[in-house]
Amino acid sequence: MISFGRKKKKILFEDKDFNSREGIRYQVNPGRGFYQVYPFDLSKELDTAYLDTTMDNRDSLCLVEICLKAYRKCEIPSEGIHALHRILEYFRRKQKDVILRFTYDLEGHAAEAEPENLEMILSHMKNLLGAVKLYDQTVLMMQGLFVGNWGEMHSSRYTTDRALKKLYETYRLSDVGYIYLAVRTPAMIHLLLDENPRIRRQMEEKSSYYSEHLRHLDKIGLFDDAMLYSEDDCGTFNRQSLQEEMDFIQEQVTKVPIGGEVLYGMQVTKAYVLDHFKKLHVSYLNRQYDQRVLDQWRGEDYLDGSFYDYIEKYLGYCLHLNQVIYDPVENEIQVEVTNLGFGALQETAEWKILIEQEWTNWNMDHGEKKTGISLEQQARYRVRHASLQPGKTVKWNIKINSLPKGKYHLTMNFVRFKDQRPIYFSNVNPEAMERLPIEQP
């Protein structure tokens, strides 16, 4: 137990050596990392036993692809809606964040698989997104707008500007229009952002129901399913305005995650890969595709592991806890954190603080000593959305009540606000933040 003077700040934890990569641990944290793809035909029975054998516990993310081809000529029947509930409930029970993609094609033949008119797609969208509402804490983002080969918004007659605008409007006015949306190219993001003033007016005219939607209108991200194939990521970016679009995405990804797949193409150095991922603030990647690239990364040594291991650690946010200080004058717990990852902490988080007091009682008649611990106080501190950008250090001053003379233990937990799932620090085992000693003379 360390004792300090009453008026001095007390360092409860300190580790500012975040340049020591050997000290950076991989932690399974929500909303970032590698993911696997889970395709489903909405007209077929769900095989949970098979899913149980294929799910990787290291993944906090899953890309759930829902194929609607069986219903291309009709409305979604009640059995299809129930099937969607069963799929999403499965991932909710597994505590996975879902990247949700609806598509009519899982074989690269969207033109043959999609409905014959846009109105059918819009009807399907309204019905299915109404069911998704129950799982808005599980669905991290919607990827795509129902159309294109594999739902990737290309090779479809419904990727015209007119069709995309109508699909986007229907999505935003749906029950879950506030969930993050990701589309295939920066050009599409520009197109849809230009629609927001018109959609905003519709929302404001209808009711206060859309207040949550209004706050998220500008949060449109990018899913780049051709990273590293070529300088422009196989047409993801416009080659004629490459730098301009890259700059735009760098600004846009402070609001919403970006990710996708790497594709075998250019022979690039590790430095190029890291620079590309840092510029795009990449938060999530497919761990199944393209295996030629991923196997190459697994076979390359890098610092304290393989290059694949390094990328896995730094996808999205990677938080290093620098310091925890108790200030008895200001009655504060001061916390300093640095984000070492490629991307931002995109969601609202929360510090949960528990202060317990050690006590001793004497029974003078029998000369017996009893010791124990009792709850002194609890505190919470909200960390707003996207306040931890990559490369940034943030300090928070968390107010607590004045502590009388005595011995205490401080336990700190950092959690995602919406579901209280823990967010772990890359340099600290969870146990290291439990029962930090404070002595108040």
DSSP letter at 264 equals S
Instruction: Give the confidence band of 2 by pLDDT, cuts at 50, 70, 90.
Output: very low
Helix axes 242-252, 270-280, angle to 10 degrees: 60
Indicate the burial class of 183 (C-beta count within 10 angstroms; 0-12, 13-18, 19 or more).
buried
pLDDT at 360: 74
Closest CA to 137 of 386, 425, 421: 421
pLDDT, position 364: 60
H helices of 286-433, in order, are 291-298, 307-314
Q: What does each C-alpha distance from 241 to 182, 185, 188, 192, 268 come to in angstroms?
A: 21, 13, 14, 19, 22
pLDDT of 287 reads 96
Residue with tokens 């949060």: 219
Residue 428 has pLDDT above 80, yes or no: yes
pLDDT above 90: residue 197: yes
Listed as own residue / partner, the contacts of 71-78 with beta carbons closer than 8 Å and 24 or more positions apart are 71/42, 71/43, 71/124, 72/104, 72/113, 72/114, 72/115, 72/116, 72/120, 73/115, 73/116, 73/120, 75/123, 75/124, 75/127, 76/42, 76/124, 76/127, 76/128
Residue 4: per-residue pLDDT: 44
Identify whether the C-beta of residue 26 lies closer than 8 Å to the C-beta of residue 62: no
Helices (H), 217-315: 242-252, 270-280, 291-298, 307-314
Question: What integer is the mean pLDDT of 167-196?
Answer: 96
Residue 297: pLDDT above 50? yes
Which has the higher per-residue pLDDT, 331 or 253? 331
pLDDT of res. 254:
83
Among 2-11, 92-101, 106-115, 121-130, name the one with the lowest average pLDDT. Answer: 2-11
pLDDT tens for 260-290 read 999 999 999 999 999 999 999 999 999 999 9
Q: Write out pLDDT tens, residues 56-93.
A: 888 999 999 999 999 999 999 999 999 999 999 999 99
Q: Is residue 362 very low, low, confident or very high in pLDDT (cuts 50, 70, 90)?
A: low
Report whether 48 contacts 11 (CB < 8 A).
no
Report yes or no: 392 and 6 within 8 Å, Cβ to Cβ: no
Return the structure tokens found at 199.
Answer: 């959609």
Ordered by where they begin, the domains of the chain are 10-22+318-440 (2.60.40), 30-288 (3.20.20)
3-state secondary structure of 439: strand
Give 121's DSSP letter. H
Q: What is the rounded average pLDDT of the residues 4-33?
A: 80
> Over 70: is that where the pLDDT of 22 sits?
no
Tell me the pLDDT tens digit for each residue of 384-403: 988 899 999 999 999 999 99
199-241 pLDDT, tens digit per residue, is 999 998 877 778 888 888 999 999 999 999 999 999 999 999 9
Which residue, among 163, 165, 71, has the nearest Cα to 115 in the 3D structure?
A: 71
Q: What is the average pLDDT value for the chain, to the nearest integer?
A: 92
Q: Which tokens belong to 93?
A: 């029970």
Average pLDDT over residues 156-160: 97
Q: What pLDDT band is residue 365 in, cutting at 50, 70 and 90? A: low
Is residue 431's pLDDT more than 90? Answer: no
pLDDT at 349 over 70: yes
Q: What percent of the chain is modeled with pLDDT above 90?
A: 81
Query: Using CA atoms, how far apart are residues 134 and 188, in angstroms rounded to an integer?
Result: 28
Q: What is the pLDDT of residues 30-51, one digit of tens each?
A: 999 999 999 999 999 999 999 9
Task: Give the whole-angstrom CA distance, residue 269 versus residue 266.
Answer: 10
Helix (H) or strand (E) holding 91: helix 78-93
Confidence of residue 253 (pLDDT cuts 50, 70, 90): confident
